[in-house]
Amino acid sequence: MGDAREPLIRIRSVSRRYVRGVDEVHALEKVSLSIPVGRFVAFMGPSGSGKSTLMNLVSGIDRPSEGEVLVAGQSLGELDEDELAEWRARHVGLIFQFFNLIPVLDARENVGLPLLLTDLPKAERLRRAETALRVVGLEDRVDHYPRTLSGGEQQRVAIARAIVTDPDLIVADEPTGDLDARNAEAILQLLRQLKNDFGKTIIMVTHDPRALRFVDHAFHLDKGLLLEGADAQRADRAVQLAAGGGLLSAQAEATHPGAAG
């Protein structure tokens, strides 16, 4: 369903092209979409479809060849590299498939890493890290090192690290890709909880068909194009079949009207 609130993200006719040798690769072509505040959305599609490129543009990791990317009212193309890095540190929390935890730091220290870029004293950084770990259900693991944690627990630490700065936007890159089915479901539920309880806007790049049960909307891409209308509905049905057909068709249908613009 549509959302009357001002979109957090506006993508306006964005293209991204790369030069590889003598070839020009069209990673994205004339993509336009809007994502309201407080929505949990997925970018889905086969390898090479452009979903990771779109994620990198929204999070300020990459720049478009054409078009405009606006996040929280800021046109990212107006920022130089230093300003863009500062903007990412303030507004974006990143979650990765392989956790990216530092082995010699315990959970609390790993979560507190983004706060090193602030002027907060160490005691306050650690207090906020403990609060973030409590949010993800790991208050009893604050002094555990990554090697002593399960894969699901390591991903929860990574999620706590992403939210410790209270960002406007959480960007998750295949967050369930290295997890078993039980832990994957738990992580998707946790992301949904962050959206529901804290109003976080979450973008997730995923191949996981279970995602459709948790997200508000799935944007499907193929060969650099954003699928819309009947093409998007067919892609949704294909993902549902991949998940065993156990998804509610009403939910899938409700995700498309009015979400892209």
Domains of the chain (ranges; CATH) run: 7-253 (3.40.50.300)
Q: Does the structure show a pLDDT above 60 at 3?
A: no
Q: What is the pLDDT of residue 250?
A: 40
Tokens of 117: 């870029």
Rounded Cα distance, 237 and 210, in Å: 13
Model confidence over 68-102: pLDDT tens digits? 999 988 999 889 999 998 898 889 999 988 888 99
Where residue 243 falls (left for φ over 0; alpha for ψ -120 to 50; beta otherwise) is alpha
Q: What is the pLDDT of residue 5?
A: 61
Q: What is the pLDDT of residue 113?
A: 92
Model confidence over 123-167: pLDDT tens digits? 999 999 999 999 999 999 999 999 999 999 999 999 999 999 999
Length of the chain: 261
Confidence of residue 20 (pLDDT cuts 50, 70, 90): confident
Rounded Cα distance, 187 and 95, in Å: 11
- Distance from the Cα of residue 208 to its chain's centroid: 13
Model confidence over 35-50: pLDDT tens digits? 999 999 999 998 889 9
**Do 191 and 231 meet the contact criterion of CB atoms below 8 Å apart?**
no
Rounded Cα distance, 135 and 58, in Å: 25
Helices (H), 164-208: 181-198
**Do 55 and 209 meet the contact criterion of CB atoms below 8 Å apart?**
no
Residue range 160-181: mean pLDDT, rounded: 92
- Cα distances (Å, whole numbers) of residue 106 to 137, 144, 146, 186: 16, 5, 7, 22
Q: Which run of H or of E encompasses 55? A: helix 51-58
- For residue 236, give the 3-state DSSP assignment: helix
Higher model confidence: residue 244 or residue 106? 106
Q: What is the pLDDT of residue 232?
A: 77
Q: What is the pLDDT of residue 242?
A: 73
CA angle (226 as vertex; 220, 230 as ends), nearest 5? 70
Give the lowest-confidence range in 1-15, 57-71, 237-251: 237-251
